[in-house]
Structure 1
Amino acid sequence: MGKVVLVGAGPGDEGLLTLKGEKYIKEADCLVYDRLSSPKLLALAKDTCELIYVGKENHKHVMKQESINELLFQKSNEYPLVVRLKGGDPYVFGRGGEEALYLTDKNVRVEVVPGVSSSVAALADAGIPITHRGVAKGFNVITAHSRKDEEADIDYSQLTDSTITCVFLMGLAHVKSIAKGLMDAGRDKNTPAAVISNATLPCQRKCIGKLCDIGHKIEQADLRSPAVIVVGDVVSLCDKLDFFEKRPMFGKKIIVPYIQSVDKYMDMPYSRGKQSPLIEKLSELGADVTAVITGKIKPIIITDFQDKIKTSDWILFTSKNGVKTFFYNLDKSKADIRILCGCQFGVVGSATAAELRKYNINADLISEVNTGKGLADSFLKKTELTWKKGRKQNVLIWSAQETSGELEKALEGFVNLKKIDAYVNEEYISKNIRFLDDADAVVYTSVSNVNRFLKENHSQKKKIKAFSIGPKTTAALHDNGISDVVEAYECSYDSLIQSLKEL
């Protein structure tokens, strides 16, 4: 029999997942998740992991709680590790206690990984500290939702202390009655109150008022669940402390087609980074990013790796993925690092050089222009004395299976050339893209992303403003009938982001 781990997924922002929670998601053989778990967390699971959705929404239950309990028990008999991923914290109105007791009674090993609760995080990202010296000395967290999907029976007489912040979860439909109950019990009608929807996410919205008018204001605001209600004087601090919504790109809906990193398919010390630095940077700036996978980069195992390296004078890399797959093959072939002592290394651009440096190797050559042709020109300039004397060096190009070939063509006749297909970029098209109708922009970072993303629903996608990282990508967009394109002033993520800030 396997083990079941209840993991708190946090309030919505995947960055608020704990390190321990991430570890278990990556190791899970089966992942049972609910509606409030960020979809991005599912991408952490290994390819062989069984994903089972048991989400609950207002009056819409994919699976009843009793059935979820039994499902967890059944899966614990099938798999060594089952992870139950729950929004927020498993034990804060998440019914995690019921699941743990059910499994324990059936002699299943259970572990609980606490999560960041929306009762605290929602307030923080809305600029509301749940406690503050001289304003609020404590807080109450109350569920406003009963077992029968009705308003909970709350004893408001226990919630009249003005120095205590009151937080109500799952009560969006009952804001008016909650406010009335507090006022009837003696809470001042002018007590500040707020309702926060989709807390910690780029689509977060909030409504600020007082107990006497928050019910009316919430009707006008048209907020959606999940939502958190907060009552107390700490709400008055939100204007000064609302750093979350003041980020420069907050709320901008941006679609980023991207190719999934080769990191997912390797287990190397320096290949465990973030999948897309562009997506991370946009998210940090507050953008509501929909990441659309258009491909998956997978490493290729080179069976005669050591023989190819021994005869090479130069090894050329055209991307960070090339560097990563090179050292992946070095590891898999069980080669001694000293096999590289006779090699020099050339790379396209500073980013590839930085990746190589992670393995304690400084590039002997960095191209002046960030293209394959640029690397060839820089290489021929550096080795001019050698090839002009008729001595051909052995050059190994370590790159993708589907490269353009411009590097090889530029070097032909000057060197003894071998190209290794070190990784493959497999096409993969995500479907059911969120925000396709109301997106502010689509950001394109490569020709393949353009062609693959526009493959389906072409006419609909043409309507969204396009941002391009460089000339080749722009040309591909024009070929696809998209003329209104904003191109970054230089081929870099930072330049692209500067263009997007003008949205």
Structure 2
Amino acid sequence: MSKGKVYLVGAGPGDYGLITLKGIDCIAKADIIIYDRLVNRDLLKSAKPGCAFVYVGKKSSKHIMAQEQINDTIAESAASGKIVVRLKGGDPFVFGRGGEEAELIYDQGIDFEIVPGVTSSIGGLAYAGIPVTHRDFASSFHVVTGHAKKDDSLDINWESLAKEKGTVVFLMGIGNIKHIAEMLISHGRAPETPVAFVSNATSYKQRTVRTNLGDAYECVHREAIKPPSLFVVGGVVSLSDKLGFYERKPLFGKTIILTRTRKKNSDLRKKIEELGGKTFELSTIDIKDKKDIGRVLIEKLTSRKYTHIALTSHNSVDIFFKNLIKEGFDFRKLAGVKIASVGKATSKAIMVYGLVPDIETSRSTGADLADVILEDIGNAGYENPSILFPCSEIASKSIEDAMKSARVDLDRVDLYTNTVNMAIKDELLDILVKEKIDYITFTSSSTVKYLVEILGRDRELIRGIKKVSIGSITSQTIRDLGFSVDMESDSASIDSMLAAILEDVKGDINDKKTETIKSE
């Protein structure tokens, strides 16, 4: 058997977007990924089906796996012909033992590549608004480990470091902060020198605390600063008030659970994260195409002439058009058929396939769509209107009932099954127990019902979390299940839901300012 290959990949300091394109490519082709504690686990979602994951995280002196075992796992996996990605926080060669692991791989005669990453000593400080160099403050910077290899002593030339006018960044130094501060001061650094601690850099938990070198040790205890934290010394720290963009983002520090499928969450997740929020994607719905649905659709579309096609969800749009494409259907045969859409999100999904809806509702219910279709039928004067309604097997019958009452022919086709995704239960409970969640978004009645069903006896875990609904039908489902609706979007779109969250956050900020003024 031929030997595999090892990629030592830097995952960056924490923000999902700070890994390199090459790093993502390596993850996508890996057979096994061996990853550290500070790696953003959302990166693992880019792995191919069947990829194995090995967690080897380390926290202070607590090791899931000793370094020797990690080395053996890498070598043995590659020797068996696998593509191995050793995924490390920051950059593999900046205090990440990447050099030691690379030496071992070389000695074993295994092919390997190094994929650099953004080191927290630069990227982490950038997110705190602290440039490591600046013409007014520092023309050089030094990155130093604050963690001893074998004993409590740090092999550092303190005299040289204390006299250096550049920026000094200590990684893994919180446990030794008293010694570090004392040594710098005793060798010449002024106690008034500005310093900062940046905890959980580039993540939604990021926290920047500024003080001076003489107060550093007391500050760690006073502010309860814990690893992982950067410790930076130098005049550049004073720029953080101006340049600290990340912690000023409108959703910074807010955590939001998204309950629909990951693919449908994509736009909302990106927008939330661009605004500084953290998303947890947990698809409560398991969707599967009905057997031979493409053939069924072709038979329907070729055997009769429809005046309208009613589409009420993103899933219906994708499954409808993808199955037609799979069967080789020519979309030009839809000429003259009016496409009716529920809301802007559904319309956007339709336009991906090169078609523009003729009819669009402003609200998210089937009843609203039925009303606008019937209005169009009346205005156009169709003699024998006929509607194709491709949908989920659990879709509401409101459109059917409205057409029946109006004596309009409607042909319903169930495209897919829509069932509860119990596979997410352990992950969901883990998040609800370990994380402080601010919001849960619900984009349909199904997402609400299924989340509550998944939680079962643990449903009270979501009681205190603000619930965001996409529309009146979903809101009523939330109430029917015994919960309150904290926010309802003005229209059936993710932008409207996001606007509701932003408005709520702004209200909370104003309330806190008012409380502060009153207390003063």
TM-score (norm 1): 0.88
2:500 corresponds to which residue? 496
1:133 corresponds to which residue? 135
Please, which of 446, 449, 473 is the counterpart of residue 447 of structure 2? 449
Task: Please say if residues 488 and 499 of structure 1, whose CA atoms lie closer than 8 Å, have aligned partners that are also in contact.
Answer: no
Residue 164 of structure 1: how far off its partner (Å): 1.1
Q: Counterpart of 1:216 in 2: which secondary structure?
A: helix
Task: Please say if residues 258 and 279 of structure 2, whose CA atoms lie closer than 8 Å, have aligned partners that are also in contact.
Answer: no
1:333 corresponds to which residue? 327
Tell me whether 1:363 sits opposite 2:367 in the alignment.
Answer: no
Aligned residues: 489
Farther off after superposition, 464-473 or 359-368? 464-473
The residue correspondences of 1:111-130 to structure 2 (distance < 5 A) are: 111-130=113-132
* Structure 2 unaligned regions, length at least 5: 509-520
Farther off after superposition, 88-97 or 435-444? 435-444
The residue correspondences of 1:409-488 to structure 2 (distance < 5 A) are: 409-412=401-404, 413-422=407-416, 424-428=418-422, 429=425, 430-434=428-432, 438-454=436-452, 455-456=455-456, 457-483=458-484, 485-488=486-489
Farther off after superposition, 193-202 or 412-421? 412-421
1:66 corresponds to which residue? 68
Paired residue type of 1:411: M
Task: Please say if residues 132 and 167 of structure 2, whose CA atoms lie closer than 8 Å, have aligned partners that are also in contact.
Answer: yes
With over 3 angstroms needed to count, the CA separation of the structure-2 counterparts of 1:29 and 1:288, relative to structure 1, is same
Distance 1:386 1:417 in 2: 20
Task: Please say if residues 477 and 483 of structure 1, whose CA atoms lie closer than 8 Å, have aligned partners that are also in contact.
Answer: yes
Distance 2:89 2:106 in 1: 22
Please, which of 310, 315, 325 is the counterpart of residue 321 of structure 1? 315
Residue 167 of structure 1: how far off its partner (Å): 0.7
Farther off after superposition, 151-160 or 307-316? 307-316
Distance 1:158 1:363 in 2: 70
With over 3 angstroms needed to count, the CA separation of the structure-2 counterparts of 1:15 and 1:82, relative to structure 1, is same
Distance 1:80 1:409 in 2: 57
Distance 1:416 1:434 in 2: 43
Distance 1:345 1:50 in 2: 44
Instruction: Summarize deviations over 1:118-174 as a string: whole Å, max 9, x none.
Output: 011111111111111221111111111122374532112231345311111111111
Distance 1:198 1:149 in 2: 26
Distance 1:372 1:225 in 2: 52
2:374 corresponds to which residue? 380
Distance 2:138 2:288 in 1: 53
Task: Please say if residues 89 and 116 of structure 1, whose CA atoms lie closer than 8 Å, have aligned partners that are also in contact.
Answer: yes
Please, which of 49, 52, 61 is the counterpart of residue 51 of structure 2? 49
1:294 corresponds to which residue? 284
Q: Counterpart of 1:174 in 2: which secondary structure?
A: helix
Residue 193 of structure 1: how far off its partner (Å): 0.8
Distance 2:336 2:230 in 1: 63
Tell me whether 1:351 sits opposite 2:353 in the alignment.
Answer: no
1:269 corresponds to which residue? none
Farther off after superposition, 211-220 or 325-334? 325-334
With over 3 angstroms needed to count, the CA separation of the structure-2 counterparts of 1:334 and 1:18, relative to structure 1, is farther
Distance 1:357 1:348 in 2: 13
Distance 2:434 2:62 in 1: 25
With over 3 angstroms needed to count, the CA separation of the structure-2 counterparts of 1:173 and 1:151, relative to structure 1, is farther
Task: Please say if residues 295 and 425 of structure 1, whose CA atoms lie closer than 8 Å, have aligned partners that are also in contact.
Answer: yes
Q: Counterpart of 1:431 in 2: which secondary structure?
A: helix
Farther off after superposition, 480-489 or 43-52? 480-489
Q: Counterpart of 2:170 in 1: which secondary structure?
A: strand
With over 3 angstroms needed to count, the CA separation of the structure-2 counterparts of 1:21 and 1:316, relative to structure 1, is farther
Paired residue type of 2:467: A
Distance 1:48 1:331 in 2: 28
With over 3 angstroms needed to count, the CA separation of the structure-2 counterparts of 1:398 and 1:74, relative to structure 1, is farther
Paired residue type of 2:293: I
Task: Please say if residues 17 and 116 of structure 1, whose CA atoms lie closer than 8 Å, have aligned partners that are also in contact.
Answer: yes
Task: Please say if residues 467 and 500 of structure 1, whose CA atoms lie closer than 8 Å, have aligned partners that are also in contact.
Answer: no
Distance 2:331 2:114 in 1: 42
Task: Please say if residues 299 and 424 of structure 1, whose CA atoms lie closer than 8 Å, have aligned partners that are also in contact.
Answer: no
With over 3 angstroms needed to count, the CA separation of the structure-2 counterparts of 1:87 and 1:70, relative to structure 1, is same
Instruction: Summarize deviations over 1:270-291 as a string: whole Å, max 9, x none.
Output: xxxx734333333333334444
1:268 corresponds to which residue? none
2:267 corresponds to which residue? 277
Residue 207 of structure 1: how far off its partner (Å): 2.0
Q: Counterpart of 2:71 in 1: which secondary structure?
A: helix
Farther off after superposition, 117-126 or 99-108? 99-108
Please, which of 377, 388, 392 is the counterpart of residue 396 of structure 1? 388
Q: Counterpart of 1:458 in 2: which secondary structure?
A: helix
- The alignment's C-alpha RMSD in Å is 2.7
Farther off after superposition, 177-186 or 416-425? 416-425
Task: Please say if residues 30 and 51 of structure 2, whose CA atoms lie closer than 8 Å, have aligned partners that are also in contact.
Answer: yes
Task: Please say if residues 259 and 441 of structure 2, whose CA atoms lie closer than 8 Å, have aligned partners that are also in contact.
Answer: no
Farther off after superposition, 421-430 or 44-53? 421-430
Q: Counterpart of 2:430 in 1: which secondary structure?
A: coil
Farther off after superposition, 50-59 or 26-35? 26-35
With over 3 angstroms needed to count, the CA separation of the structure-2 counterparts of 1:489 and 1:370, relative to structure 1, is closer
Please, which of 223, 226, 230 is the counterpart of residue 224 of structure 1? 226
* Structure 1 unaligned regions, length at least 5: 264-273
The residue correspondences of 1:86-165 to structure 2 (distance < 5 A) are: 86-148=88-150, 150=152, 152-165=154-167
Distance 1:358 1:235 in 2: 47
Q: Percent identity?
A: 38
Residue 341 of structure 1: how far off its partner (Å): 4.7
With over 3 angstroms needed to count, the CA separation of the structure-2 counterparts of 1:87 and 1:479, relative to structure 1, is same
Paired residue type of 2:421: E
Distance 1:397 1:77 in 2: 55
Task: Please say if residues 292 and 433 of structure 1, whose CA atoms lie closer than 8 Å, have aligned partners that are also in contact.
Answer: no
Q: Counterpart of 1:127 in 2: which secondary structure?
A: coil
With over 3 angstroms needed to count, the CA separation of the structure-2 counterparts of 1:465 and 1:347, relative to structure 1, is closer
Distance 1:176 1:472 in 2: 58
With over 3 angstroms needed to count, the CA separation of the structure-2 counterparts of 1:178 and 1:14, relative to structure 1, is same
Task: Please say if residues 294 and 326 of structure 2, whose CA atoms lie closer than 8 Å, have aligned partners that are also in contact.
Answer: no
Instruction: Summarize deviations over 1:318-365 as a string: whole Å, max 9, x none.
Output: 122222223332443344554545644222112221222222221222
Tell me whether 1:405 sits opposite 2:407 in the alignment.
Answer: no
Distance 1:29 1:22 in 2: 14
Distance 1:131 1:226 in 2: 23
Q: Counterpart of 2:8 in 1: which secondary structure?
A: strand
Distance 1:479 1:79 in 2: 55
Paired residue type of 1:352: T
Distance 1:204 1:242 in 2: 11
Residue 185 of structure 1: how far off its partner (Å): 2.1
1:307 corresponds to which residue? 299
